[in-house]
Structure 1
Amino acid sequence: MIHKIAAVFLSLSACTTAVVAQKVGSPCPLRLPLDTVFKGEAKFHAMVAKAERENWRNLPLPQRTMRVARELVGVPYVNYTLEIDDRIESPSVNFAGMDCWTYYENSLAFARMLRYKPGPYKPQDMLHMIEVERYRNGTCTGGYLSRMHHLEEVFHDNQRRGLAENITRRIPGAVKIEREIREMTVQWKAYRYLKNNPSLVSPMGKIEAQVSRLPVHHVPKQNVRGIEKYLQDGDICAITTHSTFGYTSHVGLILRVKDRAYFCHATSDRDKGRMTIIDRPIADYVNGTAKHAGIIICRPNELVPSPLWKQNMAKQ
């Protein structure tokens, strides 16, 4: 039976971007100053120039994402980079410091930007791609609760919109897991927006209750070595935890190197330099410590191109 499952999965994995996403909405208005929501503009423009010079746009999304991720290797690990105001929520980018979540977001957003619309590219284009990935229904309302704060909801919402597919349940050896999510409602004082707006704690609790009910599968870490062959460049790889109150504790990207699937992530480990790195193969990483339980794999899709491409062609 396991061989039949594997055969089906392999046939599906060949169509990595066959599902076309829904059309992307307009970007939200800039509610905070640009120098507040966008850090590292010089690096952004240098990367744009390199991407144009080396024609990254013509790479498939998985390879394009990892080309960007490689360019971001060495960026310092910095926590809470999204906590930029006491009340106003806004898409934000920080090329000077990243955590595990923003490293994958920035890599994917930049890669999508290159194919979504024609250049010249500006920070607002990158912010738009971040908004599409980070916010419920792809829209930032200016309120903190419009941001998705749990990876499980990001994967679920993005799959619903055709932006990605959570392939985990179809990987041989995957099993369903259940958790009672309540990290943010219990530790609300650790989050700037919640601390300054305690009235948001109760509705956040309702969101966490909804996340707790999502159908979540993972591949237990003892099975990961056997399924590395099903993983590909640009897969978002979340690390699951044994905690009763959370599904995941870390996230990164997969990079194929020969016959292994390597884990690329922003690490807070001092012995690894507290920065974005290309680490060990994912099986070695997840089995390297008792706190890891397994992995969840979400595979991003290409976006529907902007109508600006047609306008660009008409001008030429």
Structure 2
Amino acid sequence: MLTRRHFLHLGLMSGGASLLQAKEFLPQNVTFKGTEKFQQVVALAQAQNWAALPMGARVAQFGQALRGIKYVGWTLEIDDQVESPSANFTGLDCWTFFEISLGLARMIGKRQSSYAPSDLLKQIEETRYRGGVCHGQYLDRLHYLDEWFTDNAARGNIRYVTRDVGPVVRLTGRANDEMSLNPKLYRYLRANPALVPALRQIEARLEQVPFDYIPKDQVAACEPKIQSGDIIGIVTSRPHVFCSHVGLALRTGDGACHFMHASATYKKVVVDKTIHEYLYSVKSHAGIVVGRPR
């Protein structure tokens, strides 16, 4: 039944006569914020032909175009029940910053005369959800960055290049259960506590996957191998989670490799210190993992 908050997206079989499936999503006035900024960024990309750039450079260009947008936490938590691809150009957190930059770069690579919010949301769905499909369920989403890297690498959206960039060490003896331990912090889990056991099963599976990272005392020497647009996951020494932050690499004119991210410290999207300097600015930062957009 169609309601004010939800609508049904109907998929038809090729003959058009039979109902194949019905997916419930949230309306676009909930899932997409900041249409004017989206249109401005896309117009700039078209005027400067960013689609012709290599993928990593394209991601970095979109990241720079988002500089100055204010930091807003929990921008993925948009409903109590229904999960749906979303984008917010009025406020970004670390995850949505890198993800929207990547989504815009993927979108503009499909040359069209014009682009709509739905074009970006399709790209967000492709990378945000396990297997690239959202069925309207909260646990469809790749909630942990380590699984995001693994799932998207398996589907060819990125290359997981951590071992190519530098020497790695293996993280051992740590749980990856931050969300199931703190369900009241997450809007969907607060409203649906029955999801927590299934989430814990996902976390337990992730804990069995070997996780290697470049320790921060090795990053300065590795920076020449990092490219603009690489996705930089920040590995933490804190318990109960492997990665605590994420951003993009940006090579500047002086040859340095900076960390570009939605910063809770600066309260906006910024081009920060070099990656190794940024790591040393926070005691709990342990190192990095690196994904290269394809």
Letter in 2 for 1:245: H
Describe the shift of the 1:197–1:260 C-alpha distance in structure 2 as closer, same or farther (beyond 3 A): same
Describe the shift of the 1:276–1:86 C-alpha distance in structure 2 as closer, same or farther (beyond 3 A): same
> May I ask how many residue pairs the two structures share in their alignment?
271
- Tell me the distance in 1 between the aligned counterparts of 2:94 and 2:166: 26
- Tell me the distance in 2 between the aligned counterparts of 1:201 and 1:247: 19
Q: Provide runs of 4+ in structure 1 moved above 3 Å.
A: none
Say if 2:135 is the partner of 1:141: yes
Equivalent residue in structure 1 for 2:283, among 278, 281, 290: 290
Cα distance, 1:65 vs structure 2: 0.8
Cα distance, 1:117 vs structure 2: 4.6
Alignment partner, residue 51 of structure 2 = 57
TM-score by length of 1: 0.83
Alignment partner, residue 236 of structure 2 = 241
Structure 1 portions without partners, runs of 5+: 1-27, 302-316
Say if 2:267 is the partner of 1:267: no
Alignment check: 8 A CA contact 2:68 2:268 kept = yes
Letter in 1 for 2:249: I
- Tell me the distance in 1 between the aligned counterparts of 2:113 and 2:170: 43
Alignment partner, residue 158 of structure 1 = 152
- Tell me the distance in 2 between the aligned counterparts of 1:259 and 1:223: 18
Instruction: Give the fraction of aligned pairs with identical amino acids, expressed as a percent.
Output: 42
- Tell me the distance in 2 between the aligned counterparts of 1:111 and 1:119: 16
Describe the shift of the 1:47–1:29 C-alpha distance in structure 2 as closer, same or farther (beyond 3 A): farther
Cα distance, 1:54 vs structure 2: 1.1
Structure 2 portions without partners, runs of 5+: 1-21
TM-score by length of 2: 0.90
- Tell me the distance in 1 between the aligned counterparts of 2:63 and 2:282: 25
Kindly indicate which of the two structures has a greater share of residues assigned to helix.
1
Instruction: Answer with 176-185 or 123-132: which moved more.
Output: 176-185
Say if 2:172 is the partner of 1:184: no
Alignment check: 8 A CA contact 2:94 2:261 kept = yes
- Tell me the distance in 1 between the aligned counterparts of 2:243 and 2:166: 20
- Equivalent residue runs for 1:206-221 within 5 Å: 206-221=201-216
- Tell me the distance in 2 between the aligned counterparts of 1:261 and 1:47: 24
Alignment partner, residue 112 of structure 1 = 106
Cα distance, 1:160 vs structure 2: 0.8
Cα distance, 1:231 vs structure 2: 0.1
- Tell me the distance in 2 between the aligned counterparts of 1:142 and 1:156: 22
Instruction: Answer with 221-230 or 167-176: which moved more.
Output: 167-176
Alignment partner, residue 277 of structure 1 = 270
Cα distance, 1:119 vs structure 2: 3.4
Letter in 1 for 2:181: V
Letter in 2 for 1:238: G
